[in-house]
Amino acid sequence: MPASQPPLPRSDIVTRLRAAGCVFAEDEAQLLISAARTPAELAAMVAQRAAGLPLEHVVGWAEFCGLRIAVDRQVFVPRRRTEFLVGHAIALARQASAACAEGAVVVDLCCGSGAAGAAVAAALGERIELHAADIDPAAVRCARRNLAASVQVHEGDLYDPLPAALRDRVDVLIANVPYVPTGEVGLLPPEARIYEQRVALDGGADGLDVLRRVTAAAPLWLAPGGHLLAETSEQQAPQAAGILARGGLIPRVASSSEMNATVVIGTRQAGCRRFRAGS
Ligand X SMILES: C[S@@+](CC[C@H](N)C(=O)[O-])C[C@H]1O[C@@H](n2cnc3c(N)ncnc32)[C@H](O)[C@@H]1O
Chain positions contacting ligand X, by CB under 6 A: 76, 78, 82, 110-113, 115-116, 134-136, 139, 157-158, 176-178, 199-200, 210
Length of the chain as a residue count: 279
Residue 273 CB contacts under 8 Å (≥ 6 apart), including other chains:
168, 223, 224
Sign of the CA dihedral with 157 first, then 75, 263, and 267 last: positive
Could you write out the DSSP letters of every residue in 188-227?
Answer: S-HHHHHHB-GGGTB--TTS-HHHHHHHHHHHHHEEEEEE
Residue whose CB is less far from ligand X, 210 or 241: 210
Q: What is the nearest approach in angstroms of ligand X to the Cβ of residue 79? A: 7
Neighbours of 244 (CB within 10 A): 24
Q: What is the nearest approach in angstroms of ligand X to the Cβ of residue 148? A: 17
Residue whose CB is less far from ligand X, 82 or 267: 82
- Integer angstrom CA distances of residue 88 from 23, 172, 227, 265: 30, 10, 10, 9
Q: What is the nearest approach in angstroms of ligand X to the Cβ of residue 188? A: 12
The closest alpha carbon to 20, from 51, 42, 45, 53, belongs to 51
Residue whose CB is less far from ligand X, 92 or 200: 200
Residue nearest to ligand X (CB): 112
Residue whose CB is less far from ligand X, 137 or 271: 137
Q: What is the nearest approach in angstroms of ligand X to the Cβ of residue 200? A: 4
Residue whose CB is less far from ligand X, 33 or 75: 75
Q: What is the nearest approach in angstroms of ligand X to the Cβ of residue 124? A: 18
